[in-house]
Amino acid sequence: MAVGAVLVFESGRGLDYDAVVERLRTRLHLIPRYRQRLASPVPGVAQPEWVDDEHFDLAWHVRHVALPPPGGDAELAAFVGSEFSRKLDRDRPLWELNVVEGLAGRRVALVPRMHHALVDGIGAIDVGTVLLDPSAEPIDIPPPEGPWEPRTYDRRRHLARLAATPFVRAQKMVLDTATRALDTSPRRAAEELRSATELMTELARNRPRAPLTPLNEPISPNRRFAMVRRSLDELKSAGKGAGGTVNDALLAVVAGMLRRYFEAAGLALEAPPVALVPVSVRREDERGELGNRISTVFVDLPIDEADPLTQLRQISETMRALKDSSAVQAGALLVGATGWAPPLVSSVLVRAMGGVRAFNLVVSNVPGPQQPFYLGGSRMLEVFPIVPLNPVNQRLSVGIVSYDGGVFFGLLADRDLDPQVEVGAKALQAALDELVEAAAAA
């Protein structure tokens, strides 16, 4: 249940291992949860609690690795699959950051890995967020009040200090709801999420069961990963040309991917595969309000339709009907966070509905910032999301992030998935090519 990403940067001295560790050292006071571990006062009886890690060692959490030649997508994806096959140490704070060198073109990647429970507890603030700057000139962050010492976490003091930093003010476009997310009552948020989860589970039970596919068998602890990229403008044009949205176009290419994937598996489905998709259901009159109103819907993907534009139109009609349905509105969550909110919401629902088989895979699309971000003066070029699998029976997840004019797909799969995830990545690339070419010719 680890959430993560692959952040790819131009080369630069700010990406040296020691420089990354030092950057974190000067900014880690902004996210005190990253120095805390889980403790169980009475194992099996009392709920675990977050406590300061008296033996916290920043260098232990920041790893330094080099890819083998030629340092392309295949080598980077193989490293990510290996990393996400390994459990985080439950006796330490539940995060790690890999500084990955050896990429082609002298690029450097950062691969943060955070347990779902850790990210849930702090909203949109994570290691990647703290490292990045909105310009090539690093933001001057006021140092902590004194050397860090293990102590009881004072949430109010942290919120007040965080809200006053230039870091939060300068990154307002991305993090405008982060402090509000931290300021939300955990008990209230848990109650809202539980209510929505119960409703979605009931809706899932009342749906026809999703078809049984190779994607829905028990999983192993091991993972594979694949990455695909495309221009955002191309997908915007395709969606708009068919009377839909970018999200509709993304679902259409996932449908095209699955059509090719199941053909490669020699499988003919009796019913369309179903995707669990987080969607925004904010009304026009709610614009400007705090938080994101997100619901999770079940979308039948029309893989029998070979024409990509017809496929896209069918999905657009389906999504419009779903967004207007009373069930989806009732299941909406008010999520006071940007960034990873949709994957987090979906993974909670995925676990709750593990035995229902209402869907075949999760497709999580996160609209990201369209201006570049930097680390130590080096520009971030790409960001590929890593969305966790359902431990019961979900062997593939598709994470999608738009950033700085690009759309980046991260496919996480069980290592034993047959055909392997690389077949799915090639099928996704073919589906993207087909849709963009069809839209340009229309």
Q: Active-site residues: which are they?
A: 116
Q: Identify the CA nearest to 347 among candidates 293, 407, 412, 292.
A: 412
Cβ burial of 281 (10 Å; 0-12, 13-18, 19+) is: buried
DSSP conformation letters of 323-352 = HH-HHHHHT-EEE--SSSHHHHHHHHHHHH
Give dist(CA 311, CA 208) in Å, integer.
21
Torsion of Cα atoms, 266 then 270 then 271 then 275, to 10°: -30
DSSP conformation letters of 17-35 = HHHHHHHHHHHGGG-GGGG
Backbone angles phi, psi at 300, to 5 degrees: -75, 125
* Contact assessment for residue 219 and residue 393, using Cβ atoms and an 8 Å cutoff: yes
Q: Identify the CA nearest to 74 among candidates 408, 324, 397, 425.
A: 425
Scored b (16 or more CB within 10 A) or e, 103-115 reads: beeebbbbbbbbb
Q: Identify the CA nearest to 431 among candidates 265, 234, 268, 270.
A: 234
Tokens representing residue 381 in the block: 């070029």
